Every structure is written in structure tokens, then in C-alpha cells.
Chain A
Amino acid sequence: MLEPVNISLASLNIATLAPMLIAIVGALSILVIDMLKGGLNKSLYVMISLLFLLLDLGALVDFGGVFLKNGTILGFFDVMLMDGIAILSQIIIVAGSMLFIPLALTSKRFHEYDYPEYFALFLFMIAGFQFMVATDNLIMIFVGLETASLALYTLIALHNRSKSFEAAVKYFTMGALAAGFYAFGSMILYAISGSVEINQIANVMAEDHYSNIGYVLLSMAFMIAAFGFKLSMVPFHTWTPDVYEGSSAALAGYMSIVPKIAAFVVAMRLFEFLVHSGVAWLQVILYIGVVVTMTASNIWALVQSDVKRMLAYSSISHAGFVMAAILIGTTQSNTGLFLYWALFSFTNLGAFTMLWVNRQKNLLPGQSSDHPYEKFSGMVKTMPMAAVMMALFMLSLAGIPPFALFWGKLYMIGSAVSAGYTVLALIMALNSAIAGYYYLKLIVFMFMKEPMVGYNQFYFMNASLSLKTIIGIAAVGTIFAVFAVNPLLKVITLFVYNSGY
């Protein structure tokens, strides 16, 4: 007979679930509203989602305060782990989602936004990502990851175009493979350490001085493959451009930011203790992975003829750039990771929103994709303000100072230099130079070529007040980033340092 187990409710610390629960309750209430009265407008659901995300953000800020006072918050037998990086990444996830969800308020009608389920799935996905980062339990990470991914596949497929189905199925298949790798990798870790918690695993391994190094390396190989898929590191990146192309620009922009920060946090938890304990093999593999991801994707981006595909490759390159932080593994570099990603989300939000407002319903004859470069030809002559905005986001992505991403690059390269990775710093700098070319290409089309007949009728076709507001927010964030860098750095350093990274 089983022993009766007595647990006091207080020891569970249910409060640690609060942020995710808010998102889940939000999703459920959207479903309930739809059940009670169907056929309501998307604007209602957008606002409900925004409200719940705002509550979510409030809860997270609250946790931030508690964390700074009392240190890491644990709950549910240490399954839930609210440390600094968990809180920071959740803030980025929720804030990023809040900026992307209003993109549903287009002036043209789009199929997917007619379903309230779209918004419910969106909130479920956010809860999934939040679970994924707020734990160091391998099983919990898996559950969070799969919840979020399954929701995301569906969101892509809802975009009702043949390419979207292709994208969703491709993403699903690749994602399933990655999940398999992940499960296998964690199984091996469990087998050699008898635990599914990353800090326990680290302790056990350190105690027996990495005697099972062969198994550790095997499991890390699986893990690198799994996270390679999620972070779209070369050579596991092949799905990315197709999936971005198939999804709506709004969702593609979302995918370039939110899922990746979640994956970065897990990668940070998983790989950094090994990098720190001097597992040279892992360091070498990460080094190669980082350099190849940055460089190869930059070169592929050079030859793209569609702006969205170019941005897809560019986001791979940015992910590679940021992955260097995990390789370097100092407090400065981890701070740089969050700073870079916060600034990147603003700029990328702007860039993808610009694509989204220029989205047309039907392709012109001879047009092979939604956003070919030619579409933006001579835009400065027909819509000067829009062209200037787009150019601004491109310059920021290219790392031209004083726009947002330059400061992220500066800090990241600075952290590489001060950790002794001078060669890596040079490679990172030179990659920014290569990337300059393809961002410039769009600027060349917009500012130096003549307008093409037919395309300019699509400019700002989708624009509504809320979309313009989002572009404005992104532009302000991009231009005046320099004033936000210091407060951000202060807060991030505090959170990262106090979580022991």
C-alpha cells in the first residue's frame, strides 16, 4: 500500500504558476465568449488578449520585484523555477506578443482572424513558452515546448494559402523530429545522472568528474540537434525560409523573436554549465555552429529575391550572432543576449509590420512571391515616409549606429573581446559587413530605382490606425534606443547576475 503523502498547499507555492495561468485563463475565456455568442469581431478578441497579456506582464514585473528581494522563487517541488533569466525572458515573450497581436487588426479581412480559436491558440502558445523558460526540469521544458509548438503549427496553417499548409506541415515534421532528438537527449541525461533537473544533473556530473563523458557528449549531440532546429542553426535551418514565406508576415515576425528567446534560455541553462566546466568538444562544436550559422545564412540571404525570405535568412544570422553569447558564457555576454534580443524585437517588429501593411490579396501576373524586391522599387517617390521607415529598420538590422541593433551588436562584440574571443569578435564584425549588403539592397530598390507600374497600389493596403501605431512604436524604439540601453543594461545585468549566469 502506498504511503499517504502530506503536502501543505503553501509549500507548493502556487503563485509561481500565476503568469502562465493568466494566459491560459485568457485563452479559455475567449473560447467561452465564442461559445456564448458567436460571430463577434476580431477587435474584441485582440483586446481581450491584450488585457490578459497586460495582467500577465504585471504579474511578471511583480515577480521581478520579489526576485530582486528574495532571490530565486521555487514552486511545485522545484519544478517551477522563477529565476532572473526566466522572468526576463518571459517579459520579452509577453511584451513581444503584446506588440504582435494587434497586427491582426488589418484593414483587409484575413481568414484566420475570423476564428476566435486563433487568439485562444495564441495565448496557449504564450503559456507554453512561459512554462518552457520558467523551469529547469527537462520534462517540463518538453511539455512547454510541445504545447507552444503545436499551437504555432496550427496558427501557421490557419493562414489559408497553399504555401501556408506546406509551411505548417514542414514545420510540424521538422518540429517532431527535433522533439524526438530532445527526448532522446534528455533520456540519456536521465540515465547517467538519475535526475531530470538540469542543476541536479550538473551536480551529479561534477561529482563523478564527468566519468561518463561519452554519454554526456552523445546526449549533447542530440540536444544540439534539437535546439539547432528550434533556433534554426545551420545545418538545421532548412525549414526556416519556407515556413516564414508560408506564414503571414505578422506571424513570421513573431516567430523570428518569441520562440527563439525561449529556446535561447533553455540552451543557456543546458549548455552553459558544460561550457564552463571546460567540455572542450562542446565548445568547439558551438564555436563552429555559431560561425557557420552567421556566415552561411548571410551568404544565402544575399541571393534571395523576396524580402521576406531575406529577412528569414537574416533572422537565422542574428540567431547565430546571439548564440555566440552562450558560447562565451560570461555575465556580460548573457546580458548582451537579452539586450540584443530586446532591441532586435523592436526592429524586427517594425520590418515585418512594414511587410504586413504592404501585403496584397492576390499576386500580380508574373509575381512569384508576396514581397519581391521589385515591389518596393522607387517607394520613396510614391510613399516617402513609408520608405524612410523601412530604410530605418533595414539600417538598424544592418547595425548602423545609432539605431537600436547597433547597441546590441556593440555590447555583444564587446563581451566577446573582453572574454578573450578576439577572433570570434572579428568574425562577428565582418558578418555584419556582409549583412550590410542585403539590407542595403532593399534601400537601393526603394530610394534609387524608378517605381514599377502596378505595385504601388499595394502600398499600405492593409494599414489601419493600430498597425500604423505599431510601426510608430517600433520606429521610436529603433531611433531612440540609445537612451533605453543604459536602464535596460542595468536591469538585465542585475537579473542575469543574480541568477548565476
Chain B
Amino acid sequence: MIDHILTLLIFFPALAAMLGFVVTKDSMRAYGIAVAFIEFALSLCLWYAYDPMVSGMQFMESMPLIPQFGVNYLLGVDGISLFIIILSTFFTLIGIASLTETRRIKDLIITLLFLEMTMVGVFAALDAIVFYVFWELSLVPMLYIIGAWGGPLRIYASIKFFLYTFTGSLIMLVGMLFMAYLYFQATGMWSFSILEWYRVMVPYANEFNEVWWMGNYQIWLFLAFFIGFAIKVPMFPFHTWLPYAHGQAPTIGSVILAAILLKMGTYAFVRFSLPLFPDASVLFMFPIAIIAIIMIIYTAMVAYAQEDIKQVVAYSSVSHMGVIILGTFALNVEGVSGSVFLMLAHGVVSGALFLLVGVIYDRRHTKLMSEFGGLASVMPRYATIFGIMMMASVGLPLTINFVGEFLSLLGFYQQSHALTLTAGVAIIVGAIYMLTAYKKAFFGPVTNEANKNLKDLNKTELVGLIPLTIVAIWLGVYPKPVLEPINNSVEGVIQLMHDKAQSPEAKARIPDLSGNEGTISMQEAH
């Protein structure tokens, strides 16, 4: 079974969702929790069976789908994807367990299980087309969740979300086809396997001349993939769909969107852009770092100006995605490992914050901060957990975010001192808006009559929030079991990048870890 555990992980929720059609409505939530729990347990088995000392892919599965065109059903995990898969199954479980939605619960849970299939699929796929299939398919359940259970502007928000991402992905698809064509030119065979693509050195011209913009495939391909990923992350200035999506989505939608779906973009940078286009990555390192810093500062400022507490969390989530991007484009082991770790941290923390916002929304049906104040005295348990998560979000040491942010900045510090300092200061200043929001909502006297009799967290909500709090502190204090496998796999990626780099600048920027050249066989593309 362990040989096919990835297939099982991908299709078990989908199969369960199909069977879910016959489960009656009142038992649906229990059924959903059971399925999500089994899936989570399976993903823990995956972790258990995973060998942390190996840097390459494990649990590989391969089956030809369209051999004529080089499309294979190719799966595998390494340290980078392993924990994001566990995060996906974990959050689906938490999300269903703490679900307070009552309208059409059956449809919602079936949709969530299908969504889980696509999420695990994206992170387990090693064939670009299979990756693309799950990547696109994940839009459909999310469209439905936002559009059917969302707020008053839900249809606008869901269509904007869908079309924005869809457009970006189609440009990425052209990029993928072109990459496959380059592989075809180099080898005479079609292939969409990412592992095969890693062996291709995509043409890159160092100096500017008249053919520079035509034949410089690496730059064009980097940009084509970049658009698809940047919209998903979302990077400034492609982020405009996200506040709408978060603002209108039901709690469960926001939780999954922030915790998992956004990670697809940053994960794809590590999986595709970096190892496939090392020279272009170095070329665009500073522009992207500057965009990332703008993201951190600009969205922090916007967050500060928000009156809706959910929007504060949404913008802070975008702001932290900027740090992930910064770490990714540090292009060294510390930075990339840190950013992968931060993906997990960001998932846990922002997912928890959205759950917490959902708690108060369920009670008061408003998310405006001016409506609250003094909640700490009415709902002490709620205020405590919110406080811990908020501290984790601003990156307090000994919380999960700190580890990721610190490593990301440490990584980028080796590339540029000035930019790292700017980013570091921006992150610290960014804490202001979270603390202000917290102050407004939780401290001071209870002014609003409606808040006087609010009930504290109930069992359902605690079941979802306590595990998240534990994880947020546990991995902040002792990140090693997660960080080590990530580190091993990232080392492989960085070494691959160094070996493939063509320009001297890229060779210099990307550290050489092996000490000896040419451990990975390569083929020159012409």
C-alpha cells in the first residue's frame, strides 16, 4: 500500500465525496470529519514512512496517460511538498470539524472533499500537466464555496477569483507547452515530467544583443510561469482579487484559501521557477525582492486602514506572503528552507486567524472592529487564543512564524543587506496594525451592549483551535523534525540550480554545496 500511498491520498477524498451523496444530511458532518480524519492519518503515515535523510523524491508513482504526447501520471514527494500535503489534510480536518455553517451542509462537505483531492494532487504531482490539472481543478470547488455560501457580493468575488487565476494559469500553460517543446527539441521526445525538465538547460543569453529578446527562452519562460504563480500567491500588483475573495468567502473558504490555496503559488516557485530557470531567477531576484518588499509594506499600510477585522487578517496574510517570496528568491538554502517553513507557518497562523474571525462573526454577524471592544473580559479563552495567534503572526520568537521569517531574512541577507534591513523593519512596523486591531477589539471597556453577553468558545470551536495553537507553539520551539527534511530537499534544489546556472553571476549568487562539479547529468538544449 505504501507504494501507492500518494494515489490513495489524492483519490480517497474524491471517492469518499462520491459516496457522500448517499449519506443523509444530518450525518453528513460526522461523515466529513471521519473521512478527513482518515485522510489526515494517512498523510501522517506518509510522514512516518518518509526518509528524512534523502533529498530526492520518494514514493514515486508513474503511469503513462498520453505517452504519445509525453503526459504521465507521475507523483512523488520530497521534503518541500511533504509538509504542505500534511498541512492540506490537517486543515481540511480542522475546517470540517469546526464548521458552523448550516446551509446545505451536504453540498459543502462534498465540495470540500473534492477540494482536498485537488490540493493534495497539486503538491504530489511531478508531471506538469497533472500538476496543471489539479491546479485548475482546485478553482472550481473554491468558486462554488465562495459563490454559494459567501457574503452579499459573493458572485462578483467568486468570478473575479476564478477568472483572474484562470487567465494567469493559461499563460503558464503556454509556458509549460513551450518548455515541453524545448525538451522535445533537445531529446526528440515529448515529456512533461518535471524531473526530466530539470535536466534541460534552457537557453539563456548573457549580454544584450539583437537576438537577446528572441532566443532568450529562459527569461520568457520564467515570465510565463511567473504570471501564473504570482496571481495565485498573490503578488502585488496582482493581489486585487484576494481581498474580495476573503471578504465575501465564508469562514471555511477563507481558511482553506489562505492556508493552502495561496501556498500553491509559492510552492510552484520552488518547484518550477527556481530549478528550471536558475539564471532568470538570479536576473529577476532583485526586482522580485523589491515587489515583495512593496507587498509587505503596502499591504501592511492597507491593513492598518481597514475597519473590518477580516480584511485586516486578509491583508496581513498577503503581507506575510511577501516574506515567503523574499525568502524563496534568496536562492540559498537558508532562504528557501525558511520560506518553505514559513509557508507552513503562514498556513497555520492565518488559517487560525480566519477561524477566529469566523467565531466572532457567527456570534455578532458583523466583522467591524468598531462594533467590538473589551472582548477580553467577556470571552477570555477566545482572547487568549487570538492573542497567541496574533503574536505568532507578528513573528514573536518561540512561535512558528518566527522561525520561517528569521530564516528567510537570514537567507536574503546574504544577497543584499539593504533590502533585508528594509524588509525586517517593515515586518516589525507591520506588527503595529495587528496590535492596534487587537487593542481595538479586545481591550478597554465593553461599550457595545450587544457584546456583554457573548458566549466564550464552545467545544466545536476549541476542537479546531487548540491543535492549531499547539502546533504554532510546538514548531516555534522545536522546528527540527520539520525543518530537517525541508533542508535536505532544498539543498538538492540549490545544488541543481548551481550546477545548471550558465551565467557567471548566477554561479556566484547560488551557493555550491557539493564542492565537486557535475553530480547531475545534464543535456544541452540547442
Q: Which residues of A are found within 8 Å of B139, using beta-carbon distances?
A: 400
B136 interfacial contact with A, CB 8 Å: yes
Instruction: Report whether A448 and B154 are in contact in the complex, using a CB–CB cutoff of 8 Å.
Output: yes
B473 interfacial contact with A, CB 8 Å: no
Instruction: Report whether B177 and A433 are in contact in the complex, using a CB–CB cutoff of 8 Å.
Output: no
> A413-B174, A483-B65 given. 9 additional CB < 8 A pairs?
A395-B140, A401-B136, A417-B174, A417-B177, A430-B170, A448-B155, A482-B66, A485-B66, A489-B66
B173 interfacial contact with A, CB 8 Å: yes
Inter-chain CB contacts under 8 Å: number: 95
- From A483, which residue of chain B is reached at the shortest CB distance? B65
Q: Which of A411, A426, A482 contacts B65 (CB under 8 A)?
A: A482
Interface residues as binary, A465-501 with B (CB distance below 8 Å gives 1, 0 otherwise): 0000000000000000011011001100100000000
Residues of chain A having any CB pair with chain B under 8 Å? 380, 384, 395, 400-402, 406-407, 410-411, 413-414, 417-418, 422, 425-426, 429-430, 432-433, 436-437, 440, 443-444, 447-448, 482-483, 485-486, 489-490, 493
- How many B residues face the partner with a CB closer than 8 A? 35
Q: Which of B133, B143, B148, B167 contacts A433 (CB under 8 A)?
A: B167
Instruction: Report whether A436 and B181 are in contact in the complex, using a CB–CB cutoff of 8 Å.
Output: no
Question: How far does the Cβ of B266 sit from chain A's closest Cβ, in whole Å?
Answer: 22
Instruction: Report whether A429 and B170 are in contact in the complex, using a CB–CB cutoff of 8 Å.
Output: yes
Q: Which residues of A are found within 8 Å of B102, using beta-carbon distances?
A: none
Instruction: Report whether A486 and B66 are in contact in the complex, using a CB–CB cutoff of 8 Å.
Output: yes
A-B contact pairs, 22 of them (CB 8 A): A395-B140, A400-B140, A401-B132, A410-B173, A410-B177, A413-B173, A425-B178, A426-B174, A430-B167, A432-B170, A436-B163, A437-B159, A440-B159, A447-B144, A448-B155, A482-B65, A482-B66, A483-B65, A486-B67, A486-B68, A486-B69, A493-B68
Q: How far is the CA of A483 from the CA of B71 in the complex (A)?
A: 11
Instruction: Report whether B163 and A448 are in contact in the complex, using a CB–CB cutoff of 8 Å.
Output: no
Question: How far does the Cβ of A333 sit from chain B's closest Cβ, in whole Å?
Answer: 13
B166 interfacial contact with A, CB 8 Å: yes
Q: Which of B68, B133, B147, B184 contacts A490 (CB under 8 A)?
A: B68
Instruction: Report whether A429 and B159 are in contact in the complex, using a CB–CB cutoff of 8 Å.
Output: no
Q: Which residues of B are found within 8 Å of A486, using beta-carbon distances?
A: 64-69
Question: How far does the Cβ of A404 sit from chain B's closest Cβ, in whole Å?
Answer: 13
Q: How far is the CA of A402 from the CA of B136 in the complex (A)?
A: 9
B419 interfacial contact with A, CB 8 Å: no
Instruction: Report whether A437 and B163 are in contact in the complex, using a CB–CB cutoff of 8 Å.
Output: yes
Which residues from 41 to 85 on chain B have a C-beta closer than 8 Å to any C-beta of chain A?
A: 64-69
- From B64, which residue of chain A is reached at the shortest CB distance? A486
Instruction: Report whether A448 and B69 are in contact in the complex, using a CB–CB cutoff of 8 Å.
Output: no
Q: Which residues of A are found within 8 Å of B162, using beta-carbon distances?
A: 436, 440
B158 interfacial contact with A, CB 8 Å: yes
Instruction: Report whether B184 and A418 are in contact in the complex, using a CB–CB cutoff of 8 Å.
Output: yes
Instruction: Report whether B158 and A417 are in contact in the complex, using a CB–CB cutoff of 8 Å.
Output: no
Instruction: Report whether B181 and A414 are in contact in the complex, using a CB–CB cutoff of 8 Å.
Output: yes
Q: Which of A418, A448, A489 contacts B181 (CB under 8 A)?
A: A418
Q: Which residues of B are found within 8 Å of A444, using beta-carbon distances?
A: 147, 155, 158-159
B119 interfacial contact with A, CB 8 Å: no
Instruction: Report whether A429 and B147 are in contact in the complex, using a CB–CB cutoff of 8 Å.
Output: no
Q: How far is the CA of A199 from the CA of B167 in the complex (A)?
A: 42
Q: Which residues of A are found within 8 Å of B166, using beta-carbon distances?
A: 433, 436
Question: How far does the Cβ of A148 sit from chain B's closest Cβ, in whole Å?
Answer: 33
Instruction: Report whether A413 and B167 are in contact in the complex, using a CB–CB cutoff of 8 Å.
Output: no
The answer to whether A410 and B129 touch (CB under 8 A), given A436-B162, A447-B148, is: yes
B345 interfacial contact with A, CB 8 Å: no
Instruction: Report whether B137 and A429 are in contact in the complex, using a CB–CB cutoff of 8 Å.
Output: no
B105 interfacial contact with A, CB 8 Å: no
Instruction: Report whether A433 and B68 are in contact in the complex, using a CB–CB cutoff of 8 Å.
Output: no
Which residues from 88 to 147 on chain B have a C-beta closer than 8 Å to any C-beta of chain A?
A: 107, 129, 132-133, 136-137, 139-140, 143-144, 147
Q: How far is the CA of A57 from the CA of B154 in the complex (A)?
A: 50
- From B173, which residue of chain A is reached at the shortest CB distance? A429
B441 interfacial contact with A, CB 8 Å: no
Q: How far is the CA of A404 from the CA of B178 in the complex (A)?
A: 22
B318 interfacial contact with A, CB 8 Å: no
Instruction: Report whether A400 and B174 are in contact in the complex, using a CB–CB cutoff of 8 Å.
Output: no
Instruction: Report whether B170 and A433 are in contact in the complex, using a CB–CB cutoff of 8 Å.
Output: yes
Q: How far is the CA of A482 from the CA of B65 in the complex (A)?
A: 7
Instruction: Report whether B177 and A413 are in contact in the complex, using a CB–CB cutoff of 8 Å.
Output: yes
B356 interfacial contact with A, CB 8 Å: no
Question: How far does the Cβ of A42 sit from chain B's closest Cβ, in whole Å?
Answer: 35
Q: Which residues of B are found within 8 Å of A401, using beta-carbon distances?
A: 129, 132-133, 136-137
Q: Which residues of A are found within 8 Å of B296, using beta-carbon distances?
A: none
Question: How far does the Cβ of A314 sit from chain B's closest Cβ, in whole Å?
Answer: 16
**Top 4 closest A-B pairs, CB basis?**
A401-B133, A429-B170, A433-B167, A448-B147
Which residues from 383 to 421 on chain B have a C-beta closer than 8 Å to any C-beta of chain A?
A: none
Q: How far is the CA of A458 from the CA of B67 in the complex (A)?
A: 45
Q: Which residues of B are found within 8 Å of A433, using beta-carbon distances?
A: 163, 166-167, 170
Question: How far does the Cβ of A450 sit from chain B's closest Cβ, in whole Å?
Answer: 11
Q: How far is the CA of A444 from the CA of B65 in the complex (A)?
A: 32
The answer to whether A429 and B174 touch (CB under 8 A), given A444-B155, A448-B154, is: yes
Q: Which residues of A are found within 8 Å of B300, using beta-carbon distances?
A: none
User: Which among A380, A395, A433, A485 has the greatest number of chain B C-beta atoms within 10 A?
Assistant: A433
Interface residues as binary, B150-170 with A (CB distance below 8 Å gives 1, 0 otherwise): 000011001100110011001
Question: How far does the Cβ of A331 sit from chain B's closest Cβ, in whole Å?
Answer: 12
Question: How far does the Cβ of B107 sit from chain A's closest Cβ, in whole Å?
Answer: 7
B431 interfacial contact with A, CB 8 Å: no
Instruction: Report whether B148 and A448 are in contact in the complex, using a CB–CB cutoff of 8 Å.
Output: yes
- From A335, which residue of chain B is reached at the shortest CB distance? B68
- From A441, which residue of chain B is reached at the shortest CB distance? B159
Instruction: Report whether A402 and B69 are in contact in the complex, using a CB–CB cutoff of 8 Å.
Output: no
B295 interfacial contact with A, CB 8 Å: no
Instruction: Report whether B136 and A414 are in contact in the complex, using a CB–CB cutoff of 8 Å.
Output: no
Interface residues as binary, B422-463 with A (CB distance below 8 Å gives 1, 0 otherwise): 000000000000000000000000000000000000000000
B293 interfacial contact with A, CB 8 Å: no
Q: How far is the CA of A401 from the CA of B67 in the complex (A)?
A: 18
User: Which among B64, B69, B147, B174 has the greatest number of chain A C-beta atoms within 10 A?
Assistant: B174
Q: How far is the CA of A447 from the CA of B108 in the complex (A)?
A: 12
Question: How far does the Cβ of B244 sit from chain A's closest Cβ, in whole Å?
Answer: 15
Q: How far is the CA of A490 from the CA of B66 in the complex (A)?
A: 10
Which residues from 279 to 294 on chain B have a C-beta closer than 8 Å to any C-beta of chain A?
A: none
Question: How far does the Cβ of B268 sit from chain A's closest Cβ, in whole Å?
Answer: 16
Instruction: Report whether B136 and A400 are in contact in the complex, using a CB–CB cutoff of 8 Å.
Output: yes
Instruction: Report whether A447 and B66 are in contact in the complex, using a CB–CB cutoff of 8 Å.
Output: no
Q: How far is the CA of A489 from the CA of B71 in the complex (A)?
A: 13
Q: Which residues of A are found within 8 Å of B178, using beta-carbon distances?
A: 417, 422, 425
Q: How far is the CA of A72 from the CA of B515 in the complex (A)?
A: 62
Q: How far is the CA of A485 from the CA of B69 in the complex (A)?
A: 10
B180 interfacial contact with A, CB 8 Å: yes
Instruction: Report whether B65 and A448 are in contact in the complex, using a CB–CB cutoff of 8 Å.
Output: no
User: Which among A395, A411, A414 has the greatest number of chain B C-beta atoms within 10 A?
Assistant: A414
Instruction: Report whether A489 and B68 are in contact in the complex, using a CB–CB cutoff of 8 Å.
Output: yes
Question: How far does the Cβ of A373 sit from chain B's closest Cβ, in whole Å?
Answer: 13
B171 interfacial contact with A, CB 8 Å: yes
Q: How far is the CA of A404 from the CA of B257 in the complex (A)?
A: 27
Question: How far does the Cβ of B149 sit from chain A's closest Cβ, in whole Å?
Answer: 9
Q: How far is the CA of A444 from the CA of B153 in the complex (A)?
A: 13
Q: How far is the CA of A489 from the CA of B70 in the complex (A)?
A: 12
Interface residues as binary, B170-193 with A (CB distance below 8 Å gives 1, 0 otherwise): 110110011011001000000000
